[in-house]
C-alpha cells in the first residue's frame, strides 16, 4: 500500500486550512489521528516569528494527543488503538552526553522541535493543529487510561514544564511553594504543588487574580505590588516557581521570601533579561536559582503516572479545531482559564 | 578576683600595638589565650573600610585558635586547657527562623561579626590579632586533637566558606569540580574537593597557576582565557566553585561547563555585579546557581571532623604576630601560598 502522507492542517501564515505532507515513514515512526491539541504561548510566538524566523508554512501545536493509527516495526511502547501524545520536542541526537544520560530535553546538538524544525532526514516537523501527526516513537507517550485526552494533551508542554522542576527540587508535603504568575503555566504549577502536598501561595502583581487563585487551590495569595505584604513571607517559601514576572523584578526582594537552601525556579521567558546580581545576594540568601527546559522523556512518563495517580485536573476550555482562528484570538486576548484545547 | 579585661592587640588604624578591653564576662563566655590567627581578605577590606565604615580602633582577625583559659558556668562544649577556635561570626539573635533552624550564619537580624561589631550588651567585638579573645561559647569550637593549631585556625573562615557549599551540594567521588580562582579560597576548594573524592579542575585566567594547581592536587587545569580549551569541558563539571572571577564573566560560557542539574556556586565578592541573565540561559543549562555564607555552627563542627578524618592540610605560611605589619604587606602583595597565619 502506498504511503499516504497527505494530511490536513491549519498552517501559518495567515492561519489557513491546507494540505501538507507528513514526514517519510520509517520503522521508528508512530502515526496519530489527532483528537486534541493544546494552545501554548510558544505557538503564538512562533507564528509571529518572535523567537527568530519561522519557516512557513508552519503547523504549530505541541500539546498533541491522538489515537495511534500505525506503528513501525521498532515500536513497542504504543500500539494501534492506544491514545498517545507528544510534546514540544520530537527528536534529539541520541549521541551527546545529555541524551545518553537521559536529558534529551537538553540535547547538546539542540532539540528538534515538534514544529518549525527538521527531522534527521530533512523533512519538516509539523505540529498538532491538524488531523494527523507522524514522528519518532521516542517522544511519543501512552496516555493513562483514567485521563481524558483533552486534559492529557496539555500535560505534554505546560504540564511537564511545571511538573519537572517542582519534582526535581523535591516539592513535598513539607514545602511552601510560591507560584509567580497565574496564567497558563502558573495554574499548572499550583495544581502540581498542591498534588505534591505543598502549601501554595499564589503570587501576582495586583489583586485581580486573588479570587481565582484561591479557587484554583492556592492556600494564600500575595499581591507582589504590596511591598508591605512581603514581610510576612520573609524566608517562608521553600520554592518559588516563577512563571511570569515584570520589569521591576529584583533578586533581593524575591529571594528573601525563600528559606535557606530553598529554590527559585524560573520558567518564564520575559522579553528582557533578569537583572544583574550583586555578589552579596548569593551569600545573604543561600538560595538555589535554576531554570528548567520542558522535560525529558523520563520526566514526561513520571508526570503522566503522577497525574494519573493524583487525579491532577487542570482547567481547560475546548474549542473545535475548525475554530482555531477564534481560539487564537481569544488566547491573544488573555481569555483562557487556563488552557485552550482544540478538538477534532 | 577582679575580672582582668585588659588585653594586648594590634589594632587599626594604623596597625599599632595597643591595650584594649575585652567584653564583659558572662557565664556563656569562653576566654582564649590566642596562639594563632589567620589573615583573611576580609581583614584587609575592613581595615580599609572597604565594606562600609569601620569603627576604630578595630582589631581584625577571624580565624582564631587559642588555648581555653576560662569558661563560664553554662559552657560544656570546651574546657580549660582545650584548644579551641572561632571564625568570622561570634553571635546571632538565636530567635529568628534561620537561627532556630540551625542556619545561624544567615541570622535574619544580621550576624554579629567577630570584629567591627557589637555584642548584645553593646561591648565591641574584637578579633584575633591579639593575645586574648573572649566571647560566647556558641561560636567557639574545640580543635580536633590530631590537627595543628596553625592549620586549624584557617578552617574557621576560609575553610568553612569553601567546605560548606561543596558538602551541601553533595560533592563526592563521582564529582568533577571546577575551582575558579586559585588564591586563598580556591586552594581550600581544591583541598576539600580532593578529600571528598572528586576529580578537580583548577581554573584561572592565565597559565601562571598551572603548575601550582597540579602541585596542590588538581587533576587538570583550565586556562579560562583560552576559549578553545573550554570545548573539552562542555557539560563535564558537576560543580564549579567560583572563588574569583573577572569582569568578563558571562553566564553562558561558564554554565555550559556544568552538567545538567549541576551546581555553580559563587563565593567570590568581586567589586562588580554578576551580569544580567538571559532567561533562555536558565532553560538551556538547567544548572543550580547559588552562593554560600561562611558556615553554620553545625557545618563548622562537621568540617572539623571531616578535616580531622581526612587529614586535610592547607598550605600555610606562618609569621610572628609581632610581624603583622610585614605580614599584611605581603598579603596585599599577593604573596601568600596560600594562607598567612600569625603566631603568638
Burial group, residue B247, by CB count within 10 angstroms (0-12, 13-18, 19+): exposed
Q: Cβ contacts (< 8 Å) between A282 and chain B: which residues?
A: 266-267, 289-292
In-domain check, residue B304: no
Looking up residue B196, the CATH number of its domain turns out to be 3.40.50.720
A-facing residues of B in 43-62 (CB < 8 A) are none
Compute the CA torsion angle A141, A147, A148, A150 (nearest 10 deg).
Answer: -60
Lowest mean pLDDT among A304-308, B169-173, B330-334: B330-334
- Verify that A124 and A68 share a domain, yes or no: yes
Residue A249 CB neighbour total at 10 angstroms: 17
**Nearest CA to CA, how far is B274 from chain A (Å)?**
5
Q: Do B241 and B336 share a structural domain? A: no
In chain B, residues with a C-beta closer than 8 Å to the C-beta of A279 are: 266, 268-270, 273-274, 291
Within a domain: residue B299? no
- How many independent structural domains does chain B possess? 2
pLDDT at A3: 84
State ipTM. 0.95
Annotate B23-74 with DSSP letters as a single string.
PPP-TTEEEEEEEEEE--HHHHHHHTTBTB---SSB-----EEEEEEEE-TT
Which residue in the set A259, A268, A287 is minimally distant from B290, CB to CB? A287
Flag whether B212 is in a domain: yes
Burial zone of B343 (CB within 10 Å; 0-12 exposed, 13-18 middle, 19+ buried)? middle
User: Inter-chain contact B106–A284, Cβ cutoff 8 Å?
Assistant: yes
Residues B127 and B41 in one domain: yes
- Does residue A72 form part of some domain? yes
- pLDDT score for A263: 98
Task: Give the number of other CB atoms < 10 A from CB of residue A144.
Answer: 15
pLDDT value at B16 more than 90: yes
B50 pLDDT more than 80: no
Query: In B, which residues are within 8 Å of A245 by CB distance?
Result: none
Q: Let me know whether B240 and B126 are in one domain.
A: no
CA distance B172 to A186: 36
Q: Is A1 exposed, middle or buried (0-12, 13-18, 19+ CB in 10 A)?
A: exposed
Q: Are B195 and B309 in contact (CB under 8 A)?
A: no
Q: Which three cell numbers stand for residue B72?
A: 563560664
pLDDT above 70 for A1 = no
Could you tell me if B93 and B203 lie in one domain? no
Report yes or no on A172 lying in a domain. Answer: yes
Question: Which of the four pLDDT bands, split at 50, 70 and 90, describes residue B1?
Answer: low
Owning domain of residue B243? 160-291
Is the minimum CB–CB distance between A290 and chain B shorter than 8 Å?
A: yes
> CA–CA separation, A19 vs A3, rounded Å?
15
Domain co-membership, B125 together with B175 = no
Residue A51: what pLDDT? 76
In a shared domain, residues A236 and A321: no
Q: Mark whether B116 and B191 lie in a shared domain.
A: no
Question: What proportion of chain B, given as a percentage, has pLDDT over 90?
Answer: 91
Angle at A98 (CA atoms; ends A190, A75), nearest 5 degrees: 85
Question: Same domain, yes or no, for A282 and A175?
Answer: yes
What phi and psi, each to the nearest 5 degrees, are found at residue B340?
-95, 135
The pLDDT > 90 percentage for chain A reads 91
**Grid coordinates of B181:** 580562582
Query: What is residue B13's predicted lDDT score, i.e. its pLDDT?
Result: 82
**How do residues B78-125 score in pLDDT, each as one tens digit?**
999 999 999 999 999 999 999 999 999 999 999 999 999 999 999 999
B72: CATH: 3.90.180.10
Give mean pLDDT, residues A151-178: 98
Identify whether B63 is part of a domain.
yes
Q: Is A224 within a domain? A: yes
Per DSSP, the three-state class of A117 is coil
Same domain? A112 vs A184 = no
pLDDT of residue A47 exceeding 80, the answer is: yes
Same structural domain, B138 and B164: no
Nearest chain A residue to B276, by CA = A276
Averaged over A58-87, what is the pLDDT? 98
Mutate to test the interface with B, among A290, A293, A296 (most CBs of B within 10 A): A290
Residues of B in contact with A278 (CB under 8 A): 273-274
State the pLDDT at residue A227: 85
A103 vs B: CB within 8 A? yes
- The nearest CA of chain B is from the CA of A87 a distance in Å of 16
Say if B276 is an interface residue toward chain A (CB within 8 Å).
yes
In a domain, A274, yes or no: yes
Say yes or no to pLDDT of B297 above 90: yes
C-alpha B324/C-alpha B129 separation (Å) is: 8
The reply to whether A319 and A253 lie within a common domain is no
pLDDT of A151 over the 70 cut: yes
Amino acid at each position: 500500500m502506498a504511503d499516504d502522507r497527505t494530511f490536513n492542517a491549519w498552517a501559518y501564515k495567515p492561519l489557513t486550512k491546507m494540505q501538507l505532507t507528513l514526514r517519510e515513514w520509517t520503522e521508528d515512526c508512530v502515526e496519530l489521528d489527532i483528537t486534541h491539541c493544546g494552545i501554548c504561548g510558544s505557538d503564538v510566538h512562533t507564528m509571529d516569528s518572535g523567537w527568530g524566523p519561522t519557516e512557513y508554512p508552519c503547523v504549530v501545536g505541541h500539546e498533541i494527543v491522538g489515537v495511534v493509527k500505525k506503528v513501525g516495526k521498532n515500536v513497542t511502547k504504543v500500539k494501534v488503538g492506544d491514545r498517545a501524545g507528544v510534546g514540544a520536542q520530537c527528536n534529539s541526537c541520541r549521541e551527546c552526553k545529555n541524551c545518553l544520560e537521559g536529558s534529551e530535553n537538553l540535547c547538546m546538538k539542540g532539540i528538534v522541535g515538534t514544529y518549525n524544525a527538521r527531522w534527521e532526514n530533512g523533512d519538516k516537523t509539523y505540529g498538532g493543529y491538524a488531523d494527523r501527526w507522524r514522528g519518532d516513537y521516542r517522544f511519543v507517550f501512552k496516555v493513562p487510561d483514567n485521563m481524558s485526552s483533552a486534559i492529557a494533551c496539555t500535560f505534554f508542554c505546560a504540564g511537564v514544564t511545571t511538573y519537572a522542576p517542582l519534582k526535581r527540587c523535591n516539592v513535598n508535603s513539607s514545602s511552601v511553594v510560591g507560584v509567580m504568575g497565574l496564567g497558563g503555566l502558573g495554574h499548572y504549577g499550583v495544581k502540581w504543588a498542591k498534588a505534591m502536598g505543598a502549601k501554595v501561595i499564589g503570587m501576582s502583581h495586583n489583586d485581580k487574580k486573588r479570587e481565582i487563585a484561591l479557587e484554583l487551590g492556592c492556600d494564600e495569595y500575595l499581591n507582589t505590588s504590596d511591598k508591605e505584604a512581603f514581610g510576612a513571607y520573609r524566608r517562608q517559601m521553600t520554592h518559588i516557581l516563577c512563571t511570569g514576572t515584570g520589569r521591576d523584578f529584583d533578586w533581593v526582594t524575591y529571594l528573601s521570601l525563600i528559606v535557606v537552601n530553598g529554590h527559585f525556579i524560573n520558567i518564564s521567558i520575559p522579553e528582557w533579561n533578569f537583572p544583574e546580581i550583586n555578589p552579596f545576594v548569593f551569600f545573604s540568601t543561600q538560595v538555589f536559582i535554576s531554570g528548567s527546559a520542558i522535560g525529558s522523556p523520563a520526566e514526561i512518563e513520571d508526570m503522566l503516572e503522577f497525574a494519573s495517580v493524583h487525579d491532577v485536573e487542570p482547567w481547560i476550555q475546548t474549542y473545535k479545531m475548525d475554530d482555531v482562528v477564534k481560539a487564537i484570538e481569544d488566547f491573544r486576548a488573555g481569555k483562557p482559564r487556563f488552557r485552550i484545547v482544540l478538538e477534532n
